[in-house]
Structure 1
Amino acid sequence: MSHTAHIRSHRKPRRSASTIAMRAGVAGSVLSTLAVGGASASSASTAEPVTQTLELPTLTADLAAQVAQSADATQQAAANYELRAERDAAAAKAAKQAKSDLAEAKKKAAAKKKAEAARAAAAEQAASRSSERTTLAASANSSSSSSTSTSTASGSAAAVIAFARAQIGDAYVLGATGPNSWDCSSLLQAAFKQAGVSLPRVSQDQSTVGTPVSLSNLQPGDILYWGSAGSGAYHTALYVGGGNFVGAENPSTGIVEKPLPWSPPTGAVRVL
Structure 2
Amino acid sequence: MSPNAHITSHRKPRRPATQSWVVRTGVAGGVLSTLAVAGTASATTSEKPTEATMEMPAFNAALSTSIAQSAVATQQTAVDYQVRAQVEEALDQAKADAKKAKEEAERKAEAERKAKEKREADEARASRTSERGSLGTKSTSASGSEAGSSSSSTATGSSASLVNFLRAQVGKAYVMGSTGPSSYDCSGLVMAAYSQIGIDLPRVSQDQSTAGTQVSTSNLKVGDILYWGSAGSAYHVAVYVGGGKFIGAQNPSTGIVERDMSYSPPTGAVRVM
Q: TM-score range by the shorter chain?
A: 0.3 to 0.5
| TM-score (norm. length: structure 1) | 0.44
| TM-score (norm. length: structure 2) | 0.44
